[in-house]
Structure 1
Amino acid sequence: MNEDGAQVVNNQGGKWNSTNQYITVAKDNWTIWKDFNFKNGISTKNLYQRTYRVTGWYRHFNGSRYLSVYDNNGKWQGYLNEDGAQVVNNQGGKWNSTNQYITVTKDNWTIWKDFNFKNGISTKNMYLKTYKVTGWYRHFNGSKYLSLYDDKGKWQGYLNEGGTKKAVSYVLLNAPYINQNSSGYPMGCEAASLLQALQKKGYAKNYNLKSFIKEMPLSSNNNPNNGFAGKPDRIMNDVYQSIYAKPLAQWGNKYGKVSDISGSSVETLKDELRKGNPVVVYVTGNYAKPAYGKYWWGTGIDNAHIVTLDGFNESNNTYHISDPNSGKYWVSASKFEASYNLRKSAVVVR
């Protein structure tokens, strides 16, 4: 070969080629070398999934390409075979998919919209709330950033994991059980469920179901949006015997801190349980398919039933219920969520 078509180099490493890019180490059992004698090197175990800057590379005599790697402090790490790395678009590093939930534990940090760290908002309004994590990046600065979504599927941004903790995956509040039938109220599940939740939080301790239900607001025109329609101690034909979430919460506020949180996702319900707050939820009897009926004020679910939600277990996808008609039990997430999501009506006691 004509020597004008070649460049003499100092060793087997080959010619230096400048570049400016970022890589994430993709192998945890390879070696990053300090020279091309391949005698002085360290394992990539502690570098795995971390992001580094590459300032240049060599095409070695052995045919492999070696990257010259630096950390975020400008400290040279060594030469890494490019097959043990993944080139990434920016300092953010490599995307790693996951599916988990976290609770924000800092109220004065910033959640970022990009990795230029110029566009972000305070975590003040996110404090102690739970979010879904769909993936994460190990940034060039050494920190791990989680990609967060709220319970409506809206992306929130990237948050340093140091401002989070893994969300609690098991809660059992053990709300009391009040039997609506033995108390003589076959249509009194709303009142019984509310009293269960109130008493779990230490409210209305001097009431039993009979004395409590005497104070329940009644609807003068049998519209459950105004109060209880009909009478809770008997079954009445052509009357939708229920009290809806808004008036139920208003009534409950006379005894404790009660709020109508209708429209909440099941993740929001779990968040309330994590905080120690039982939730009165509107489902269907035995979590069956809904049977709809038409009334002068609108459409109702004729086989509706109201219970107290007081726990969940994410390891086996179940929820715990204190049911004034059927006692205490665990129910599968698929059954509960399908039934709850029909209306998403809920009242929390805090």
Structure 2
Amino acid sequence: MDILFDAPNIDQNAWGAINGCEAASLLEGLHYQNKLTEVNYGEFLKMMPIDQSGNPYRGFGGSPYRNQSGKFEAIFVKPLSDWAAQYTTFRDISDLGIEAIYDSIRKGEPVVAYVTVHFEEPEIQRYPFGDVAINNHAVLVDGLTDSQVHVSDPIDGSYFLDKEKFAHIQQSRKMALSLLK
């Protein structure tokens, strides 16, 4: 059974945001749900919770527009879900395995999935808050076939990707947020 939501894609680089893929992926999902449709990506970035210490476990660590020494420019699942709660209902499916992502898609629920840029192997680096993939990235999963997933990628656009490649990279990260109907 082929499923494709065809969520709108946000090109974060077109907005000058070299970081902020999590916000773009979340907004893609919200726009798919017909929520916050009057809010564009630039406005949404201004609404994003920022952690001044640069800890992505507490908020976005730094600036979406530039890299800052000692900061990790990302926002991880807990603060992202706290932010998402203002606009939609969700379920943190981070530790439930790859089938939880596929089940969400089958239910008509897009998923913000943490992966790596271009689905390359994670490059791990140590920060005061822990070891993290410095090639961190997030996409919106918005489709599924027997052998592929469809993603709306804020860097590379919308495309189908082999399920095995997707699962390998996503499960190395183990962070995902399902946006409920």
Query: Scaled by the length of structure 1, what TM-score is found?
Result: 0.50
User: Are 2:65 and 1:233 equivalent residues in the alignment?
Assistant: yes
Shift of 1:308: 0.4
Aligned residues of 2:93 and 2:100 also touching (Cα < 8 A): no
State, as a whole percentage, how many aligned pairs show the same letter: 37
The answer as to 2:108 corresponding to 1:276 is yes
Contact residue 201 and residue 277 of structure 1 kept, 8 A:
no
- Larger-gyration structure (1/2): 1
1:345 is matched with: 175
Q: List runs of 5+ in structure 2 lacking aligned partners.
A: none
Does residue 326 (structure 1) correspond to residue 147 (structure 2)? The answer is no
For residues 180 and 222 of structure 1, the distance between their equivalents in structure 2, rounded to whole angstroms, comes to: 20
Instruction: Find the aligned partners of 1:223 and 1:260 in 2 and give their Cα distance.
Output: 19
Aligned partners of 1:335 and 1:237: how far apart in 2?
Answer: 31
Displacement of 1:312 after TM fit?
Answer: 1.1
| Contact 1:264–1:346 under 8 Å retained in 2 | no
Quick check: which one's helix share is greater? 2
Greater RCO structure (CA 8 Å; 6+ sep):
2
Give how far 1:264 is off: 2.1
Unaligned residue ranges in structure 1 (runs of 5+): 1-168
How far residue 260 of structure 1 moved from its aligned partner, in angstroms, is 2.0
Q: Distance in 2 between matches of 1:198 and 1:331?
A: 22
Aligned length: 180
- State the secondary structure of the residue aligned to 1:181: helix
Please give the secondary structure, in 1, of the residue aligned with 2:15: coil
Secondary structure of the residue that 1:342 maps to in structure 2? helix
Identify the match of residue 259 of structure 1 among 91, 95, 100: 91
Does 1:172 pair with 2:43? no
Q: Which residue of 1 aligns with 2:33?
A: 201
Letter in 2 for 1:208: N
Q: Is the strand fraction higher in 1 or 2?
A: 1
Match of 2:138 in 1: 306
C-alpha distance after superposition, 1:78-126 (max 9, x if no partner) = xxxxxxxxxxxxxxxxxxxxxxxxxxxxxxxxxxxxxxxxxxxxxxxxx
**Cα deviation digits, residues 272-326 of structure 1 (max 9, x gap):** 1111110000001111111100001111100111100001110xx1110100111
